[in-house]
Amino acid sequence: MTTSQSPSSSTGPQTRREYTRKPLYLNPLLADSRVEELADGIVSYSGIDDYCGDIFIRKSALEQIDGSRLFSPCCGLDLQTPLALFTPFVREFVFVDIVFGREQNPRSGEQESPDGLDLSAPVADCFPRLKNAFTPFASELVGPARAKLHYIVERYVHRYGLLEPVEHPELEPATMTETYRHRFSRRHIRIVRRRGFGFTTFRKYIDSIGVFFYRGDSLGDGGSGDLWLARVHLLELLDKLRNGGLIVTDGSNHGHGDRYYHDSRDNREYRSLWTYHGKRGLRPDPLPEPFNDRLGNRFECVGYAGQRGFGPVLIWQVWKPDAKMPEIKSPATASATPRILPGSCTRMERLMPEEGSDYTAPSLDEEKVLREFLEMPLENTNAVFKKFLDLKMPGTIYKQGEENFQEFLYIPGTRSDRVLLVAHADTYWDSRWHGNNGAGHQPLKELRIDLEQAGHTVYRNEQGKQSGCGLGADDRAGCAMLYLLRETGHSILVTNGEEPGKVGSKWLRENHPIVIGEINNDHQFVVQLDRHGSENFVHYGKATDAFEKHVKEEMKYDPERGSSSDIAILCDTVCGVNLSIGYYNEHSSAEYLKQDDWKKTLDRCRTWLKKKETPLPRFERPSD
């Protein structure tokens, strides 16, 4: 690679850059491929695709898309290169084409493998070179795997700038979602293949993307006819592209000429995106210069993804213009306007803690999350599971059985030294609602926030004495902590039925051995957040002396004795611990939560579990 081929590093003064600065896993994805880091922050790939040759990209661009989604419309069977190039940085790959599951009338000149067209066929089987890097974890097919299709396009209507789907009645949408574990990074990757139209999928089901991958399409026979790079649709795309996200394209269907686009002059500011379109066999040297559009978006060419279809495939990074910052009130103005907390019966004022106290007030976001979980209905766990499901995190597994409390949600972590964090969604009052602890008390709750001592906030159930029900901080406060710790890259497990006898964790162990195996084999240790009091922990015999010493040193908490909780069921060969999170008088109407004790555990867990130069150690114990 010559110096002139290196991506330009110039920037525009009006663009904002917020680099994620997360570590990279530069392991080759495919068998017989190679990846290496070169000078000037360039990552080079070779042996990925017979069509592509060598590929290179700026390292900082990969850092910026870490944890994002890739969207590839009109992809055909062009899945291997985007998977090889962007795994494990991209967490979810969404491939859309009408050819998936097609049984007859192939497009002219196509040579796709029948196995590749069958949505029920695993991606790793369709592309054998992926097998060495991906371990199957879960899959789900919604809709028929095969469907009889005729030639179908989303035709661009001249003059009006609209897309008109021209569908044959036999078109049946279907989606295959597969979750794999990447063996090198140990991250979970979700691969979605959808039979359907690209624009329809993008508008209805995609809220944000980190990478737009689009190449090898055309306006003529065998192509989609979709003008993804026409300005009117490119702006729609940019609206969902994250700041610093990537557009990977050979310039297909950019809409040149009045025959295909009613206002082609309006598209000229983006012409660098297709400057090499149609120049097959040409290796761009140098790469195109950066440019700005009229809205202030800055496009920088940061890499080259080889040749496919209609010429060189370029990788563009898009930096969006600075957003207008909200007006910040001065401290004097802010303090003059007291805050009323939704759902509380009292006005809350922030008092300064006593001198010498180690109390740290939670941020507004932390306080909001805690309050939201405490205000969820006591009579069922629906709101808790919905809160985690709405995150739509890659690899999420949510299972429900036929009986009450047979339920769990598992979100695999992204780190190689990941830890499993556990809490239970049910409360003691949920058990009463289902008749396990007697009937006659319908759970009611109105959150009350009091102040005890200087700056120490306490949460209670305002109607506790009247209803006979407590606050439910056991274990809704633990669920709130899990929600806030999800950004640490560790795994999350939310169970149900802990109060009536660890029903959910027992059902998980008996019916989902793959998840149990991953809990015990692929985590350094397990941390449950479901213990009353402050500055103590229990392990129910699920810890070694070395692990107990490790917890004492990291958390500065003391070991105590306890009865049992979910980790007593879940931990087989891996060590586990249950930490106190600040609730008191659990299982009674007098239950309350001290916010400073809860926040202390949250802060110390963050410090303990954050990424460090030395990975977290793994602690194993003899199997029971």
Cis? peptide before 475, omega within 30° of 0: yes
Name the 3-class secondary structure at 203.
helix
Q: Residue 290 has what DSSP assignment?
A: P
Q: Is-above-0.75 flag for pTM?
A: no
Cβ neighbours of residue 400 closer than 8 Å, sequence gap 6 or more: 406, 407
Note whether residue 454 is domain-resident: no
Cis? peptide before 286, omega within 30° of 0: yes
DSSP 329-370: --HHHHHTS-B--TT-SS-B--PPPPTT----PPPHHHHHHH
- Distance between CA 278 and CA 461 in Å, rounded? 68
311 and 369 share one domain: no
- Determine the pLDDT at residue 184: 76
Q: Profile the chain (624 residues) by mean pLDDT over runs of 10 residues.
A: 38 40 54 75 75 75 89 88 87 88 51 60 83 82 74 41 44 84 80 87 88 81 70 87 92 58 58 73 77 91 80 90 42 29 26 38 74 90 94 88 92 90 92 48 68 70 80 94 93 94 94 90 95 94 95 94 90 96 92 93 94 88 78
Cβ neighbours of residue 578 closer than 8 Å, sequence gap 6 or more: 527, 528, 529, 530, 531, 537, 538, 539, 540, 562, 565, 567
301 and 428 share one domain: no
Task: Determine how β-strand 420-424 pairs with β-strand 526-531.
Answer: parallel
414 and 294 share one domain: no
For 303, phi and psi rounded to 5 degrees?
180, 175
254 and 376 share one domain: no
- Determine the pLDDT at residue 452: 58
109 and 216 share one domain: yes
Note whether residue 233 is domain-resident: yes
User: Are 385 and 479 within 8 A, CB to CB?
Assistant: no
- Determine the pLDDT at residue 280: 63
- Determine the pLDDT at residue 561: 86
301 and 381 share one domain: no
What end-to-end distance do the CA atoms of the chain give, in Å?
57
302 and 373 share one domain: no
- Determine the pLDDT at residue 138: 80
From 319, 344, 379, give the residue that closes a domain.
319
- Residue 538 domain boundaries: 364-442+474-609
374 and 297 share one domain: no
- Determine the pLDDT at residue 455: 53
- Distance between CA 102 and CA 118 in Å, rounded? 8
3-state secondary structure 563-615: CCCCHHHHCCCECEEEEECCEECCCCCCCEEEHHHHHHHHHHHHHHHCCCCCC
Calculate helix-pair angle for 364-374, 473-485, nearest 10 degrees: 140
CATH classification at residue 488? 3.40.630.10
From 319, 350, 383, give the residue that closes a domain.
319
294 and 393 share one domain: no
Quick one: CA dihedral 417, 407, 424, 369, positive or negative?
positive
Q: Residue 222 has what DSSP assignment?
A: T
Note whether residue 1 is domain-resident: no
Note whether residue 350 is domain-resident: no
- Determine the pLDDT at residue 365: 80
Note whether residue 102 is domain-resident: yes
Residue keyed to tokens 């002139």: 4
Note whether residue 447 is domain-resident: no
87 and 30 share one domain: yes
314 and 370 share one domain: no
From 283, 303, 319, give the residue that closes a domain.
319
Residue keyed to tokens 């239970």: 424
Note whether residue 354 is domain-resident: no
Note whether residue 534 is domain-resident: yes
- Find, among 401, 390, 394, 584, the residue nearest to 477 by Cα: 584
Quick one: CA dihedral 74, 273, 71, 208, positive or negative?
negative
- Determine the pLDDT at residue 609: 93
502 and 564 share one domain: yes
